[in-house]
Copies of this chain bind each other. A is one copy, B any other.
Amino acid sequence: MRLITLTTDFGWTEYVGAMKGVIHSIHPGATIVDITHGVRRFDVRHGAYVIGTTYQYFPKGTIHCAVVDPGVGTERRGIIFSAGGHTFVGPDNGLFSMVGGVKAIYAITAKPKARTFWGRDVFAPASARLAMGTEPRELGRRIDGYERLEFRAGVSGRRALGEVICVDHFGDVITSLRGEHLAALGAEHGARLEVKIKGKKRDLRLLESYGHARKGELLCLVGSAGYLELAVNQGDAAARLGVVGGERIEVRL
């Protein structure tokens, strides 16, 4: 039994229900697991982060169907590819930029009934067929490249430079900087970091967990996916900082 996961920016709406209906119609007995449908509307970068940090918790063999697709109905392609024993299905618009080890990419040849709903008419049926054992080459033609988005993240001298990838449900501000970047600065738990974001510098503690900060304190933390977060203990960092995604961030020890 190969699982099918779904990740979209559809919200938890009937658009998701229709995709599930299509999958069950093709593949009775399918097991479908929602990763999330709460990707910020039209935000391919947010989708890329969600998929790239979650797929690896599923068993190998899982089919990951993802749809964040503001260009639906235009010339962008649909693709199927493999990476690390998992299979991915979705639009070729950068949504899979944070999946490593990509190989064997196929452009899906099926066309949708409704130009505006590839999720229901193309990606769901392809995912159902893959879960039943159809080979990707039966659903598309082999291609070489695919779209990748860049996330700025690096260390230059004593500064780490990155960007905000997204804001999570708790208002935690997730950045493109990782534990490695902080290590390169020599920052350890308990260190004070100078964080510049939206033109303002702040002096924040790098802590191990939210609960180690005072209630309401703005803190830094390397989150459960390995990325530097700005968070407020029992509060909403994004609301406090006025951040929505895409902002530049600069960190010094």
Contacts and interface: CB of A to CB of B under 8 A. Distances in A.
A33 B21 contact: yes
A14 B54 contact: yes
B57 A35 contact: no
Interface stretch (A102-110, A111-119, A140-148): A111-119
Main SS at interface, chain A = loop
A178 interface: no
Identical copies of this chain, number = 3
Interface residues of A, number: 63
Interface in A111-166: 114-117, 120-121
A209 B121 CA distance: 15
Contacts of A21: 5, 33, 35, 54-59, 62
Task: State the 6 A-B residue pairs at the shortest beta-carbon distance, nearest first.
Answer: A73-B209, A21-B57, A17-B35, A11-B169, A117-B224, A114-B224
Interface of A: 1, 3, 5, 7, 10-18, 20-22, 24-25, 28-29, 31-38, 41-42, 50, 53-59, 62, 70-74, 114-117, 120-121, 168-170, 208-212, 221, 223-224, 233-234
